[in-house]
């Protein structure tokens, strides 16, 4: 089955996390400086991009016209939705846009229990990965737990900061949360298509409600909206907003490639060495439901026979 553009973007970002993790672990275990890690990351990204684009290029050359027609049909879908339900479409888009602007500019970060930006600044200042204590900037007396050192997000943000010149607080508290929020809406866009196939109006309405649930639901640290609006750069926000809803969707649709990507991405962004991770638990429960249903069907068939 061909993947949609949003699926490509979601899975592409999860693959990006995986590639960044590979570069990060190489630099961590070989004690390479951050700038070398950054170049390894860039090379891996370029190679992955080439690997992704080349089949598309080959297809375009061999069956160019047909592909073009398909692309036009895909692009027309959003325009069609806008033409059919302009008010609903505009309200939903405006709300999401407001949240993105709010996330980028107006909200205050929730830093309790988190040292991501300190770690990014330490990496940039020391040009190394966990060479000094991020909390003090001084040399380690004993060290840092390995389960934290293997997490990729601080290194990825440090690389982004060093290439773009954007300050670490702005990158982590402003830009990254916007990207995570946007990807989260792409995931819920896929949920809308799964729950209400070929019902454009319901799909847009679903996204509107998802945006409102995020907006009104950020009253507790355990809510997804809170994680995305006040700590969108954290691994837990990536897990709550992207990985968990996407892994559940993929498991329900039996898209095992997506499931594996999510399981691996979770290991890269949050502490899963304590337990096997939430994505694995989600998939396990879906498989359990399926298993029980199959057994009950068989038992019923036996009874009938």
Partner 1 sequence: MVEFVRFLKNSYNSLTESGQFLMLFMVSLLLLWLIKEFEKKEFRQFATIMLLLLLCPVSVKLLLLYQTQFYGYENLWALLPMTAVLACAAVTAVSKISVRYAAERSRRKKTVSGKRERVYEILAVAALVLLLFLCGTLTPVKAMTEQDFDGDKLPEEVAEVFALLEISEEEGVFLLAPDEVAAWARIYSGRILLPYGRNLWEPKLWAYTYDVYMGDMEELHNWVNGTLATGSEGEEALREEEMLLSYCASAGYDYLVFLAERDSGENLRSAMENQSEYLYFAKTDKYVIYRLS
- Nearer to partner 1 by Cβ, of 42 and 124: the residue is 124
Residue 153 Cβ vs partner 1, minimum distance, rounded to whole Å: 14
H-run or E-run covering 37:
helix 34-62
Residue 26 Cβ vs partner 1, minimum distance, rounded to whole Å: 22
Residue 54 Cβ vs partner 1, minimum distance, rounded to whole Å: 35
156-183 as b/e: b if 16+ CB within 10 A: bbbbbbbeeeeebeebbbbbbbbbbbbb
How many other CB atoms are found less than 10 A from the CB of residue 14?
25
Residue 169 Cβ vs partner 1, minimum distance, rounded to whole Å: 5
Angle among Cα 223, 224, 227 to the nearest 5 degrees reads 95
- Nearer to partner 1 by Cβ, of 22 and 252: the residue is 252
- Enumerate residues 6+ apart whose C-beta is below 8 A from 271: 147, 148, 151, 235
Q: Are the C-beta atoms of 145 and 271 separated by less than 8 Å?
A: no
Residue 127 Cβ vs partner 1, minimum distance, rounded to whole Å: 10
- Nearer to partner 1 by Cβ, of 54 and 164: the residue is 164
Residue 3 Cβ vs partner 1, minimum distance, rounded to whole Å: 20
How many other CB atoms are found less than 10 A from the CB of residue 97?
10
- Nearer to partner 1 by Cβ, of 79 and 216: the residue is 216
How many other CB atoms are found less than 10 A from the CB of residue 42?
14
- Nearer to partner 1 by Cβ, of 108 and 305: the residue is 108
227-264 as b/e: b if 16+ CB within 10 A: bbbbbbbbbbbbbbbbbbbbbbbbbeeebeebbebbbb
Residue 97 Cβ vs partner 1, minimum distance, rounded to whole Å: 18
- Nearer to partner 1 by Cβ, of 44 and 240: the residue is 240
User: Closest Cα to residue 250, out of 224, 229, 279?
Assistant: 279
- Nearer to partner 1 by Cβ, of 55 and 275: the residue is 275
The backbone region for 234, taken as left when phi is positive above 0, alpha when psi lies in -120 to 50, beta otherwise, is beta
């Amino acid at each position: 089955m061909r993947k949609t553009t949003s699926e490509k973007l979601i899975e592409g970002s999860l693959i990006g996390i995986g590639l960044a993790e590979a570069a990060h672990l190489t630099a961590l275990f070989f004690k390479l400086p951050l700038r070398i890690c950054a170049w390894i990351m860039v090379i891996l990204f370029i190679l992955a991009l080439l690997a992704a684009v080349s089949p598309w290029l080959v297809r375009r050359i061999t069956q160019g016209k047909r592909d073009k027609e398909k692309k036009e049909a895909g692009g027309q879908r959003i325009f069609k939705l806008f033409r059919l339900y302009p008010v609903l479409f505009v309200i939903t888009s405006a709300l999401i846009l407001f949240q993105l602007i709010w996330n980028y500019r107006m909200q205050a970060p929730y830093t309790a229990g988190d040292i991501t930006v300190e770690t990014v600044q330490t990496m940039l200042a020391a040009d190394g990965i966990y060479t000094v204590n991020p909390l003090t900037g001084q040399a380690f007396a004993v060290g840092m737990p390995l389960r934290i050192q293997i997490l990729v997000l601080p290194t990825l943000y440090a690389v982004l900061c060093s290439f773009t010149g954007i300050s670490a607080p702005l990158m982590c508290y402003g830009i990254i949360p916007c990207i995570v929020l946007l990807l989260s809406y792409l995931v819920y866009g896929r949920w809308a298509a799964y729950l209400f196939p070929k019902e454009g109006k319901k799909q847009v309405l679903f996204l509107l409600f998802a945006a409102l649930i995020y907006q009104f639901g950020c009253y507790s640290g355990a809510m997804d909206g809170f994680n995305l609006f006040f700590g969108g750069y954290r691994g837990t926000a990536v897990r709550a907003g992207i990985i968990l809803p996407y892994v559940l969707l993929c498991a329900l649709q039996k898209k095992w490639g997506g499931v594996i990507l999510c399981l691996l991405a979770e290991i890269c962004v949050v502490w899963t060495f304590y337990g096997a991770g939430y994505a694995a638990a989600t998939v396990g429960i879906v498989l359990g439901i399926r298993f029980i249903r199959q057994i009950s069907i068989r038992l019923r068939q036996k009874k009938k026979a």
